[in-house]
Amino acid sequence: MSYNNLIVELDDNIAVVVINRPKKLNALNTATIKELHLAFKSLEKNKKVRVIILTGAGEKAFVAGADISEFSHFNTKQGGQLAAQGQELLFDFIENLDKPVIAAVNGFALGGGLELAMSCHFRIASHNARMGLPEVSLGVIPGYGGTQRLPQLIGKGRAMEMIMTGGMIDVERAIEFGLVNHIASSEELIDFCKEIAKKIAKNSPKAVSQAIKAINAGFKNEVDGFEVEIEAFGQCFGTDDFKEGTSAFLEKRKASFPGS
């Protein structure tokens, strides 16, 4: 599948999705959101792919925000639809994908860019990364899940300050807050992500998928995360991955999982 705003590369069982709008600092527009949805949907179905890395083209920006020119004239109804459609198509879709998605944050991750990074399962950032939700300076609030995911990741007070001031934080502060897991140089960022992805890819893809489901459930008010964990745990017992993993352990050899 070819894309106008993305580059998708496959390296064995790891996929790298690159948002390729460097002249616009990889800003998210409607077309790019749709293409990202299609790319992730395709990769989710690809049994060879076990981990996905998401990044932006160039070293200046992961995603510097949304394309403001697309919605500056919107009314109340259109604004609500923009947020609802974006969350369903991309942000919630990535968060609930049954394959791990690592955000490789290279440079600015602002507004919708930080919201996109937060929808990924975890984040690794380059030394020059800068993150923030500046929407209040435009007279709006984060609409792609930022008011929900940021407090979950860094705590209510810190999220309140970041969102209400609209300010940016550097990568050292992001590490301190728990917003990113690791820091790497710009040159080594993707390779660093791939090393972690390889560790994940060695494990049971079906178990990893169930772990994502169970962990996400703990952050949903209407769901009992413990009940979801119990169900997911039980589901694992019916898979070929479980048979292979336990057999390999008992036979003192490395497991070779057949795929998702």
Give the pLDDT confidence of 245-259 residue by residue, as tens digits.
999 999 999 999 975
pLDDT number for residue 182: 98
Q: Is 227 a catalytic residue?
A: no
- Between 59 and 39, the more confident residue is 39
Pairing of strands 6-11, 14-19: antiparallel
| Cα–Cα separations (whole angstroms), residue 122 to 179, 187, 205 | 8, 20, 17
Mean pLDDT of 139-168: 98
Q: Which two tokens stand for residue 113?
A: 């860019």
205-250 and 6-201 share a CATH fold: no
Set 35, 44, 95, 135: catalytic member: 135
Give the pLDDT confidence of 43-81 residue by residue, as tens digits.
999 999 999 999 999 989 999 998 888 998 999 999 999
pLDDT number for residue 259: 59
Question: Would the pTM count as exceeding 0.85?
Answer: yes
pLDDT over 80 (residue 260): no
CATH number given to 205-250: 1.10.12
pLDDT over 80 (residue 162): yes
In sequence order, the 6+-apart residues with CB closer than 8 A to the CB of 233 are 210, 214
Grouping H, G, I as helix, E, B as strand and the rest as coil, residue 35 is helix
C-alpha 191: how far from its chain's center? 17
139/42 Cα distance (integer angstroms): 36
49/105 Cα distance (integer angstroms): 21
Residue 19 φ then ψ, to 5°:
-75, 115
Set 95, 115, 172, 176: catalytic member: 115
pLDDT number for residue 217: 96
H or E stretch covering 29: none
Q: Is 135 a catalytic residue?
A: yes
Q: Which two tokens stand for residue 162?
A: 């970041």
Domain boundaries, the chain: 6-201, 205-250
CATH of 6-201, one of 3.30.420.140, 3.40.50.1110, 3.40.50.1000, 3.90.226.10: 3.90.226.10
| The residue to which tokens 């995603």 are assigned | 63
